Structure 1
Amino acid sequence: MKSAVETLNPTRVRLTVEVPFEELKASLDAAYKKINQQVTVKGFRRGKIPARVIDQRFGRGAVLEEAVNDALPKFYTEAVNEGELNVLGQPDVDITELKDGELLAFTAEVDIRPTLEIPDYSGIEVEVDAVEVSDEDIDKSVEQLRERFASTSPVERAAQDGDVVTIDLEAKVDGKVLEDGVAHGVSYTIGSGELLEGIDDAVKGLEAGGSASFTSELKGGSAEGEEAEVTVKVSEVKARELPALDDDFAQLASEFDTLEELRADSAKRLAQMKKYDQATQAQEKVLDALLELVEVPIPEKLLADEVETRKHNLVNHQLGQMGLDLAKYLEIQGKTEEEFDAETKAQAEKGIKTQFILDELVNKEKLNVSQEELTEHLMRRAQSSGMSPDQFAQAVVEGGQVPMLVGEVARGKALAVVVEAATVKDTNGEAVDLDEEDETVEAVAEEGVATAEGADETPAEEKPEA
């Protein structure tokens, strides 16, 4: 076999391949055997029909077509390997010559990964938020904990903000009660914003037994999006009582004996959260700076496929689970379809660029992924998807997506290398030393890479392999 490579552009090549006919022998034998099992000729047992009879009855052309279809993937792969090409997607193959007993010639056009030059990235400088925990932050954290331990008790007065009311609801559209527009015994905290718009004003001031009507747009059900006349009746009013902020509360709500110890622990946890947020911010800004440094040509078909995949996953899975279609989603977001398409394309471009650049860095820095690192990444992805590690691992294996997860870990490590080499300062002008947080930086980087590339939380979706 002879092959030659012609570069059409930085991301596409044409392979020209010539195969001596004798190299088709194995595929010809396989073609005769396959046809033998599929046809019946009087006087011959199935599978025992001579080749000459098959040629006479069904034509040599049918055999050649079967043989060529069988052989093309093998010869194409050999040509790719010989040319040391890193191909993307499926090739467009054109058989240019087929002479029985002499020669098979074909061309194959295919997208390839572009050759990238990674410049010195140690000069990247970014600014991130300082890690500062204020008394106000601590107060808010303790107050949220206090809210969780609130109790309620019935009161004989008009409902007011913060009260918990038990209500019955009835929704009418065009004067008719909806089949799914009636609910009884609903518990609602006034001011929470968890039900219909306008319900807070309607129930405030009502005592048990009181009712009111208001107009609101329905958020779900058979008449979703339509204006409805809603009647609400209050059957019970309960006041929420918060525990006193003292040592007794600390002992009730935590393992600490004093409120001071509880506040100190809250400060510690808030600082850890802010450090994680700081690492995330550094990773995002460093990645954006790295993308600006490298010129990355993108194959048009790969980009189109990635845009279509992202749109498909959003519409058919994420929005589907929420009971929304694209039109309703765009209305909620306040975007036109053109703006949505432009944003999706920009996100897809960033994802592909991220993958290309970090893969190049993986090779340049000779980064490997250990079984322990892969397992830790799988655990994190499983947690974010809401699946158990065993379920997630099974879905990954069945979907053939283990290489995808390995790639995410490797690219996360590559990005962590860049982050650690960059100069990161906080808004106070202080240097941020992320080397002390190696595991955190790598974990954050892996998440950032998955987000930039558009990886799904569950491994069931397919995306173009870049």
Structure 2
Amino acid sequence: MKTEILSQEKNVVEAKAQFTAEEVTKAVESTYKKISKQANIKGFRKGKIPRRTLELYFPKDAVYAETMENLIPDAIDKMIEEYELKLIAEPDVKPGEIKEGEGFEVTVKFEVTPQFDLPNLEEIEVEKTVYETTDEMVEDQVKRIVESRAEMVPTYEERPLTKDDYASVQYDTFLYYEDGSEKKAEEGQKTEIFLGADTMRPEVVEALVGKAPGETVSIELPVEGEEAKKDHVVKSRYEIEVLGIMKKTTPELTDELVIEITQSKHKTTGEFKEEVRKQLEAAAENQSKENLKDTIVNKIAGMVEVDVPMTLIERQKDSIRKQQAERIKRENNMTMEEFFEKSGMNKESYEAELDMAAMNIVKRALVLEAVAEANDIEWTPEELTQEITSIARMSGVDPKKLQDYIYGDRDRLFEMAEKIRNRKTVDYLVTTVKVTEVPEKKAEEKVEKEAE
């Protein structure tokens, strides 16, 4: 078999493979032998059926078609290996006519990863924003931690509720179905609510404001989402009784509270605040490093000239759509269509933003792949095992079972290996480009000046 490149335009390579008449004849004979081992013909044992007999039962066109199916994968594999092609889509195959005793040609179009020139990485200059941890930030964080220990206690007030109140309530839930039937779904459920919370439904707040302990309100709400449609529920009704007005009491920061919060790791408020400062500084440094990595990759992506294939962009858009649909379903129990309708989001604007996001993600991925290729950066089996073990420990699953699962899923295995390679590539970039540290305030001033 001989192969040759016919043409190459942007990221599409067209190649041709030629099989000699002898190779075709040998392949046809091999097909007949395979059929002989599989066919059930009375009077003959499998594998011992003469070709002339097989020709009576199996049309030549079918034999030639199967022969072609056997030859084409070999041709594709050879062209990919010989010309070092990195495919991003299934090849477009155009086979010629095949006949025993004659040569056979097949033309294949390959859509491959685009090639482009990288800039001199050592000459690239980027700034790393250094975030400051102030005393005010420490005090705010300490306050949040202490407030997380707050408790709700009854006030025993008999006044009407306001929008700024916490309340203890008890409620029953009733569901109404399309056929007119009614069902009590919940009874005597107790909870504490804050009427000023952003998550509170306006209808509930409006009904409760002005009600005093001991009073009851009835609220009807439409039922939305796929589950409601599936169960044929059209609306719900809540019978809510106000049990009492509550207040939030926050403990005072004392050495005793510090011992309780830290489980005796720290014994004084001073030690506790110092620990909080260290945690904030570590978080700030981590944020600074992550932002630096994004800055480097984005800068290189902005410097290179590459025609990003629509195949990769559309594939990335599909992935983003799927992730967003799953998130909206999980968080709001809505389909994407329902979300568009409820939120008032313009579909055209959404698609335009999706195009831009997908383009940026793909271009960044192409840059990382090119840098990795140029600098022989690869993942190792040991790194993959470490990654799987780390995920298993965080998830509380058996590392061996997780490893077997991942190795049994080719796509998931490739995704994890690529993640490791990309991480190593970004780490390489951080140590290769020229990095200048800039205080947060100066970085903000620079952004403001550029925006003017």
Fold match by TM threshold 0.5 = yes
1:60 aligned onto 2:72: no
Cα distance change of structure 1 residues 126 and 217 upon mapping to structure 2, 3 Å threshold: farther
Provide the C-alpha distance between the structure 2 equivalents of 1:349 and 1:204, rounded to a whole number of angstroms: 49
Cα distance change of structure 1 residues 45 and 377 upon mapping to structure 2, 3 Å threshold: closer
Query: Displacement, 1:110?
Result: 1.1
1:185 aligned onto 2:185: no
Cα distance change of structure 1 residues 396 and 183 upon mapping to structure 2, 3 Å threshold: farther
Question: Are the equivalent residues in 2 in contact too, given 1:155–1:237 (CA < 8 A)?
Answer: yes
Provide the C-alpha distance between the structure 2 equivalents of 1:112 and 1:21, rounded to a whole number of angstroms: 31
1:166 partner amino acid: V
Choose from 196, 208, 226 the match for 2:201: 196
Query: Displacement, 1:12?
Result: 0.4
Provide the C-alpha distance between the structure 2 equivalents of 1:148 and 1:229, rounded to a whole number of angstroms: 33
1:294 aligned onto 2:298: no
1:166 aligned onto 2:143: no
1:102 partner amino acid: E
Calculate the TM-score normalised by the size of structure 2. Answer: 0.82
Choose from 379, 389, 392 the match for 1:369: 379
Choose from 327, 331, 338 the match for 1:328: 338
Greater displacement, 233-242 / 75-84 = 233-242
Provide the C-alpha distance between the structure 1 equivalents of 2:53 and 2:348, rounded to a whole number of angstroms: 61
2:275 maps to 265
Choose from 219, 222, 226 the match for 2:228: 222
1:253 aligned onto 2:258: no
Provide the C-alpha distance between the structure 2 equivalents of 1:423 and 1:332, rounded to a whole number of angstroms: 46
Question: Are the equivalent residues in 2 in contact too, given 1:116–1:357 (CA < 8 A)?
Answer: no
Provide the C-alpha distance between the structure 2 equivalents of 1:111 and 1:183, rounded to a whole number of angstroms: 61
Choose from 194, 212, 220 the match for 2:217: 212
Greater displacement, 408-417 / 103-112 = 408-417
SS at structure 1 position matched to 2:214: coil
Calculate the TM-score normalised by the size of structure 1. Answer: 0.80
Query: Displacement, 1:394?
Result: 4.2
SS at structure 2 position matched to 1:98: coil
- What is the alpha-carbon root mean square deviation over aligned residues? 3.4
1:426 maps to 439
Percent identical residues: 19
Structure 2 portions without partners, runs of 5+: 444-452
Question: Are the equivalent residues in 2 in contact too, given 1:208–1:235 (CA < 8 A)?
Answer: yes
User: Residue deviations 1:13-61, cap 9 Å, x none?
Assistant: 1111101133346643442244235544343234432112112332222
User: Residue deviations 1:299-337, cap 9 Å, x none?
Assistant: 33333333334334543x444444321113334654222
Question: Are the equivalent residues in 2 in contact too, given 1:167–1:236 (CA < 8 A)?
Answer: no
1:65-84 map, 5 Å: 65-84=65-84
Cα distance change of structure 1 residues 228 and 320 upon mapping to structure 2, 3 Å threshold: closer
Structure 1 portions without partners, runs of 5+: 431-466
1:28 maps to 28
Query: Displacement, 1:9?
Result: 1.3
2:15 partner amino acid: L
Query: Displacement, 1:167?
Result: 2.4
2:105 partner amino acid: A
1:185 partner amino acid: Q
Query: Displacement, 1:246?
Result: 1.7
Provide the C-alpha distance between the structure 2 equivalents of 1:91 and 1:299, rounded to a whole number of angstroms: 15
Question: Are the equivalent residues in 2 in contact too, given 1:17–1:107 (CA < 8 A)?
Answer: yes
Cα distance change of structure 1 residues 237 and 366 upon mapping to structure 2, 3 Å threshold: same
Query: Displacement, 1:179?
Result: 4.2
2:188 partner amino acid: H
Question: Are the equivalent residues in 2 in contact too, given 1:171–1:177 (CA < 8 A)?
Answer: no
Choose from 349, 355, 360 the match for 2:365: 355
2:113 partner amino acid: R
1:233 maps to 241
Provide the C-alpha distance between the structure 2 equivalents of 1:387 and 1:237, rounded to a whole number of angstroms: 42
User: Residue deviations 1:438-463, cap 9 Å, x none?
Assistant: xxxxxxxxxxxxxxxxxxxxxxxxxx
SS at structure 2 position matched to 1:7: strand
Provide the C-alpha distance between the structure 1 equivalents of 2:427 and 2:351, rounded to a whole number of angstroms: 31
Choose from 406, 414, 430 the match for 1:396: 406
Question: Are the equivalent residues in 2 in contact too, given 1:197–1:216 (CA < 8 A)?
Answer: no
